[in-house]
Structures are given as C-alpha cells and as structure tokens.
Amino acid sequence: MFASIDERNVSWLSALARRCEEAFGDALVDLVPSYTTLLIVFDPLSVSPSQARAIICQTLVDLEPEETAHEGEVHELPTWYDARVGPELPRVAEGAGMAVSDVIEAHSERAYRVFALGFAPGFAFMGLVDPRLECARLNTPRKRVPAGSVALAGLQTAAYPTETPGGWNLLGRTSARLFDRERDGFSLLRVGDRVRFVPVSREVFEREGGNTAPLEPIT
C-alpha cells in the first residue's frame, strides 16, 4: 500500500481498516496492519476472491486518513542497558561513533509507535529509532534470545516477549512481562500503542524480577 515506512501511514491504515470492517461485515476474519500494508483475512465461504477484490477497491475510493486515529496506550518499559545482557551495545556505539551512554540516551528518549505484531506472539515492531543508531541485523542469528531482550535492527526497535531465536542487536533487557497467556489478548503491546524504554539500574531491574543471566556477544 505504501512504499516506505512513515508514522503518517498509521492514520491511512486505520481509516482503511475501519472501512473494511464495515464493508466485509461478518465475512471479515481478521485485519493485520503492518508498517506499510493491511492484511485482510476473510471467510472464502461467505465472500469469493473476486468479490473481496471488488470490496477492497471500493473501500479505497475517496479514502481519507483518520486525523483522530486511535493512539493506543503509552507504556513505559523499565530497561537495564548493559553489555552483559545487551552484548551488541558497545558495537552499536562504535558503529555510530558515540559513547555507550549516548546510545542509551538516544534510544530511551523517544516514544516509539507499535507498527505491527508478528514473528512471535507479542513481538512488537516499533520505530522509528534515531538514524544514528541504524544498524543491520546480525550475520549469524542467535539460537536463543532471552525474553525481555531489547534490540535494534535497521531503524526498528523491539523487545523479545519470549525466548526465541533472533538476529537483532541486543542493547539490554526489560523486566516487563510482554506476553502473558492470562492477559486479554495475551500481548501487552498492541498496534498503535507508544512505548518508552526507561533506563533503570541493575538493582531496580532485579527487584522487578528481571533476568540478569549474561549473554555472550556474537562475533
């Protein structure tokens, strides 16, 4: 739908989602927004592919962005930035020509929009980070990334909700519980929410139940 990632896309995607909800009615199964697209899942027993295509084309006629698009909740995630749990922190600093403390400040001073959920349950793709911190994914992904790991890839940032493989650059770890089967919807974060990573000391991180097990850098 869009050629590039831009926070202004959210209001357009929100408007399209609302129209699709109305147009598809009971035939709509799910809507999955991303940075630049909206996945529309419909019941093929109720609506044929050709009918769905026609409905979507009609929803795009005179589409206008929602100026009052749902902003979602604001979440503050306590984060321990440290090379012991964020082994790529020194590498990101070196690549940016910045001190580690400046990387932490640059990463934590922004409120990030949740653009999409995917990859793993509760994994929120957020952006956009300070361009100085832009960095490529690791050449060799880790087989295990601990839950709560705060990471960078390109101009995106995220926090791993559960232990999974992953190839993002790790900066630290949050004690926030991002995925919980007892929570309505399971995920703490939802598309449209905003997230701030709040630096905390190791003592505070441990007191809030954070996992301090160290992780080796990948060379």
- Taking the model in full, what pTM does it have? 0.79
Encode 33-79 in three state secondary structure.
ECCCCEEEEECCCCCCHHHHHHHHHHHHCCCCCCCCCCCCCEEEEEE
The residue-averaged pLDDT of 168-197 equals 90
Q: How far apart are CA 130 and CA 107, in angstroms?
A: 7
Q: What is the DSSP letter of 27?
A: G
The residue-averaged pLDDT of 192-217 equals 94
Q: How far apart are CA 15 and CA 12, in angstroms?
A: 5
What counts of helices (H) and strands (E) characterise the chain? 5, 11
Of all residues in the chain, the percent with pLDDT exceeding 70 is: 94
Give backbone dihedrals phi and psi of 109, rounded to 5 degrees, phi first.
-85, -10
63 pLDDT more than 80 = yes
User: Domains of the chain, with CATH numbers?
Assistant: 9-60 (3.30.1360.40), 74-207 (2.40.100.10)
- What's the whole-number average pLDDT of the chain? 89
Residue 57 has a pLDDT of 92
Residue 132 has a pLDDT of 97
1 pLDDT more than 70 = no
Residue 152 has a pLDDT of 97
Express each pLDDT in 111-165 by its tens digit: 999 988 888 888 999 989 999 999 999 999 999 999 999 999 999 999 999 999 9
Neighbours of 217 (CB within 10 A): 14
The residue-averaged pLDDT of 192-199 equals 94
Of all residues in the chain, the percent with pLDDT exceeding 90 is: 63
